[in-house]
Amino acid sequence: MKNKVSIVTISYNAEKEIERTLNSVISQTYDNIQYVIIDGESTDDTLNIIKKYKDKINVIISEPDKGIYNAMNKSLDYCDGEWVIFMNAGDCFVDSHVLSEIFNNRNLDDFAVIFGFTLTSKGLMPLKPFVCKAGRTLQMGFCHQSSLVRRNIIKKFRFDERYKIAADYNLMFRIWNAGYHFYNSGITIAYFDTSGLSSKKQFVLLEEIASFTNLKGTLRYYLFYMKLVIKKLLLF
């Protein structure tokens, strides 16, 4: 059956968040799904919660990893769907019909990536021009929680584990630069809690993105840097 979707959840000591994600995935009305969970050998109750739903999950792996992007890369070896989407612990689909809506009567043969809107703890995240016409941008146009990538493409490029925060943006940046086509579904796909991104991490994120977009030292870089500084000062 065409357009099978592998949904991947990465978890580690996420007993407070994991059940919300599990219910979000297994409640999808789209029936052509494989569900893969990669747990980093949690020491809390995460794995016990996951096992309550084991009849709804195709693959459960719990073992140490070298960080979230290492775990995400590892998951690709277990995925058998045509498309892959990451819905990590704490993230969730915006409703139970979203995947059905994405694949209903759409010809997606020419596209490597499908993306859409993300609802965050601060409201609906606007879709910014991804790798804008000027060629480079310091902001990813959409969240990985609201994007599906063809399995053969994501396995070809994989996440660059040198980046601790921006490996998802780097992945999309490389796919885009390779000439693959992106499809804007116009649909709100996922909910993502942005409260966990501290001001310190935002500066790390900026530095990582600037390194692979070659924007370090440009006016755009300094303007974005000052925006983060002002935001940090306002929090004190």
125 has a pLDDT exceeding 90: no
pLDDT for the residue 39: 98
pLDDT for the residue 205: 77
pLDDT for the residue 235: 55
pTM of the model: 0.87
Q: What is the DSSP letter of 129?
A: P
The values of phi and psi at residue 26, to 5°, are -75, -15
Domain ranges of the chain: 5-194, 197-236
Average per-residue pLDDT in the chain? 86
The CATH number, out of the four listed (3.90.650.10, 3.40.50.720, 3.40.50.300, 3.90.550.10), of the domain defined by the range 5-194 = 3.90.550.10
165 has a pLDDT exceeding 70: yes
Q: Give how far Cα 41 sits from Cα of 11, 12, 57, 61, 87, Å.
A: 9, 7, 17, 9, 18
